[in-house]
Structure 1
Amino acid sequence: MTFKVTSPYTGTASWQKGNIHVHTRANPDKQGSQIDYEYGGDCDDVIKQSLSVPFNFDFICTSIHPYIDAIDTFTQPMEHEDIVVIPGREIQNDTIYYGHYEGGYFRDEKAKYIHALTMGRENGVSLCCHPCFFETTRPREGGEWKNILESLLSPCALLKDLNLVGIEVYNGLSMLEEDQGSKPYSPHFSEPCWDDLLTRGYKCLGFAGNDEFYREHYIYENYAPLGYIRVAGDKNETSILNNIGAGNFYASTGVELDTLPLEVTETDEGYGFHLSSPAEVIWKAIVFEQHEDGYTLQSYTSDITGAWTFTQRKKWKYIRFQACSPLDDKKRAWLQPIYGPDWVDHGS
């Protein structure tokens, strides 16, 4: 069979804008973590905020932090005519001050500081939250990314059961706390963590969320950009979750892309990738490509432009594209990885 490289965005007719990471105090079954009741909003207030400027969301995932004896507890499903409300939970394995899990839900010591977000009780999608939070934002011994990376590549049974499909490349709470602490958000969002997984053969989607409690000190114009994802498909929970799981979305902190943001062609020279945005941006291609006897990670950058065509001539395992505002480098958009003819899955 001839390998064919395709764009996950082919045939997209409409996009839904949403926040994957919104915390509430809505726990229908058992008492949840104190942090939800102290900071999380009532669902009606969260929906009202999510529908207003600057959010204007088509969907949100409302999350709670369940205790270990209620680990299957999600927020209450809600029907609303203006917004899709997806139930969620965040397994906060060994948290900062609230709701310790008597040694942690993930029993592997290396997974001590993994937090896992699940969107959707039925056919849900799970991902690793704020992977650098305990290394750069609120440092804890053992919380370094290298430990989380090792756990994701060799998961314990409970972590493996979650089938994590991605990682939070951007987390609004981390950005806000680090900006207010007068230190740069490091390391460049969580893009290096994403590439650490991809270069090791771990297929991984990239997400952006706000870790949102709608607290008064969130001032997006001055601090954290608004993190969200744009998902292809219809405005209902099934379509949104299916398209997230299939990688038919891009993550953003303010950069919008065209309805068809990426087209792929194959020529005698190699593979051509045509990217487009309604506003001028700086495009970047991050490529895991052949160099001498091995593969190395390389990046290629465009001029300031709306449309950019990038041709990949060398052998390659994956390519991912991102766009950055030329006026504010905190405003970016991340497309999902494209896997090439030389891709080999982790463990194969």
Structure 2
Amino acid sequence: MKKPNPLLWIPSLLAILVITIILAAGLGYISISVSNICHILLSQLGWTLPETIDQSYPFVIMDVRLPRILSAVLVGGGLAVSGCVFQSILQNPLADPYTLGISSGAAFGASLAIIMLIFGLILPAALIIPLFAFVGAVATLYVVFTLSSPSARLSSNSLILSGIIVSAILSAGISFIKFLADEQVNAIIFWLMGSFIGKTWPDVILLIVMTIPCTILILVHHRELDIMTFGDRASDSLGIDTASVRKRLLVIASLSTAICVSVSGIIGFVGLIVPHLMRMILGPGNRLLIPCSFLFGCIMLLCADTITRVFLPTELPIGVLTALIGGPIFCYIFRKNQLERWRS
């Protein structure tokens, strides 16, 4: 089989991403041409905006659509790269960024913030909900690591089981908060489904500051990730401190996931499907797999968000659409793995 060429794949996906961003920016209730979008973007760099362009267009592009588009792009990329890490380290093609209960922790934190706002806490919802979600996700990560590592070495099975246990406890807590919310439970349910409605430039900046450095740090460890897929004995014999590297990469990927979930809510299957598809196409080498998964995750989630925003009669939460698309693909992957095990 011919080895994938990074000089072909990465620029191609990057070009597709740029084209998709420009096209998505022009679609909506107010349709804006590509040439007008380019003029508006150039005007932000000091170029003169032509007088023929409607004066409302710059506001629509720069303050409404572009923050939402870039939020979807960065969340998609962050979740996809985190999925690469979890699948490589846990040696499980069905692992995703939520395997350790990060989503449940973020959901519990956000639900707690929403119920506090319902009961009269006077704080800006745009700040307090993402903050509580992030703290909940990080606290969950700490609890899972504490449960699964009585010794210095982390076991994949103990990590997964600890994540399941903590998720079950937090799910019960979320159900209790929903009960307390009573008639205003819709606010919690809507957040849990995931959405990019109302995203602003501070959200974009927060995602850039967290997801891009995390992705770069993960890419730096691509060699260790490749070796660790062969098991602990192989990586230890090659001089890698497996326990330390595993913990470091899981923390980085989980922090990236936590910030994504705190901004967007819970969006399933992106971190599962994207790295799995890229691995099937490109092979297991993480040097190419990580950047390509990031770019393809950006494209996939942006396309899904554009569909919910533009083409559906009623705007669905993005998490619903990704689940509808990802569910059948997940079933296919699971069935394929089961058949391969049976044949072997």
TM-score for the superposition, normalised by structure 1? 0.23
Higher Rg of the two aligned structures: 2
Of Structure 1 and Structure 2, which has the larger fraction of its residues in strand? 1
TM-score for the superposition, normalised by structure 2? 0.23
